[in-house]
Amino acid sequence: MYTLAKESRLSVGEITAVKDFCTAVPDLVRMWPCQSFANLCDWGVDGLGCNKNGHIEYIQLYGQKLNGYIPTSIGNLQDLRYFDLMYNSLTGTIPTQVGSMNSLELFTVGHNRFSGTLPSILGSLNRLSVLNVRNNELSGNVPPTLGSLKSLTTLDLSYNNLNGTLPDSVGSLSQLWELLIGNNVLSGPLPDTLGQLSSLYNLQVNDNKFESIPASLAQLPTLTYLAIYNNKGMRGGCWPFSPDIMGCTSWGVSWNCSCNAPQACDPAACH
C-alpha cells in the first residue's frame, strides 16, 4: 500500500504524480522506494529532489535505461523546474498536461521513442529555457505557439518526423542561442524572421526539404555554425548573400568545413 505522511508539505497532486510515475516507469523501483511515499523529499535518491519549501523541484533520469511512459498526472508538479529523461527507451506521447507545469525551465526528453505530435500548449511555459525532444518519433507540424517562449535559449527538434513549414513565430525567440531542426521532413522557405534572432549561435536545418535560405541570416552578428546541407528543395551552391560577410567558422555544405561556403548568387535564383 502507498502511504502519505500527515506532516508532508507535498500536495496530494504531487504525491499522485510520483506514484503514477512509478507505475508508468516500472524500472524506477531499482532507484526509488516506490512502495511508500511518506516524506519522499527525504528519500535521498538519485534523480528526484525537492526545493527548500518541500515541493518537488527536479526529476533528472538521464541515461537510466528506463522503459515506460509519462503519466498525465505529471502536470501536477507545479514547482518542477528541471525534467530530464534523455537517453532512455520511453514511449507514448508527450502529455499536454506538461503545459501546465509553469515553473519548468528545462524539458529534455531527447533520445527516446516518443510519438504523436508536439503539444502546442508547450508555448505557455514562459520560464522554459531548454526544450529538447531530439531523436524521437514525433510527427506533425512545429507549433507556432513555440514562438511565445521568450526565455528559450535552446530548441532542439532534430531527428524526428516533423513536417510542414517552420512558423514565422520562431523569429520572436529573442534569447535563442541554438535552433536545431535537422533531419525532419520540413519544407517551404526558411522564414525571413530568422534574421531577428540576434543571439543565434548555432543554426542546423540540414536534411529537410527546405526550398530557400533567407538573406536576413546575413544580419545575425553571432551566428557561428550553419548547417543547411541535404535540403532537397535548394539548388546546390546557391546563396542569397556573400559568405564572407558572416563570421561563420562552420558552414554546413559539408559538416565542419571552415568558411568554404558556396559563392553568392542572385537571390531570385535561390527560390
- pTM attached to this predicted model: 0.87
Whether 21 is in a domain gets the answer: no
Residue 200, in any domain of the structure: yes
Percent over 70 (pLDDT), the chain: 83
Q: Give per-residue pLDDT as tens, 68-97.
A: 999 999 999 999 999 999 999 999 999 999
Count of structural domains, the chain: 1
Position 203 in a domain:
yes
Domain annotation covers residue 174:
yes
Mean pLDDT over all residues of the chain? 86
Residue 182 lies in a domain: yes
Q: What's phi and psi for 108, nearest 5 deg? A: -125, 110
Quick check: is 185 in a domain?
Answer: yes
Q: At residue 38, what is the residue type?
A: A
Q: Domain limits at 187?
A: 45-270
In a domain, 36, yes or no: no
CATH no. for residue 108? 3.80.10.10
Asked if the structure places residue 69 within a domain, the reply is yes
pLDDT of residue 6: 33
The 10s digit of each residue's pLDDT in 207-261 is 999 988 888 988 899 999 988 888 876 754 455 554 444 555 545 543 333 333 4
The percent of residues in the chain predicted with pLDDT above 90, rounded, is 71
